[in-house]
């Protein structure tokens, strides 16, 4: 949930709040999505996020994939 009022309301009720990028990262960790493809699609929308954060996430995703491929 990225909206401030909704985030504040959720936290005041003890509900854990994570952002869109965290949800996508967890989906990538589980192998449910291809993070680079999803980020490319997001860039074609009005979604906004710090470029450096997304770049770091892509680097971590590539590193994670490389570790999985190693024998």
Q: Compute the CA torsion angle 60, 64, 65, 71 (nearest 10 deg).
A: 150
Q: What is the pLDDT of residues 13-70, one digit of tens each?
A: 999 998 899 999 999 999 999 999 999 999 999 999 999 999 999 999 999 999 888 7
The residue among 44, 52, 53 whose CA lies nearest residue 20 is 53
| Predicted TM-score of the model (pTM) | 0.78
């Amino acid at each position: 949930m990225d909206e401030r009022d909704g985030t504040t309301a959720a936290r005041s009720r003890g509900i854990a709040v994570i952002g869109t990028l965290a949800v996508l990262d967890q989906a990538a960790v589980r192998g449910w999505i291809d993070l680079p493809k999803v980020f490319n699609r997001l860039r074609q929308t009005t979604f906004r996020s710090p470029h450096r954060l997304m770049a770091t996430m892509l680097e971590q995703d590539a590193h994670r994939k490389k570790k999985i491929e190693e024998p």
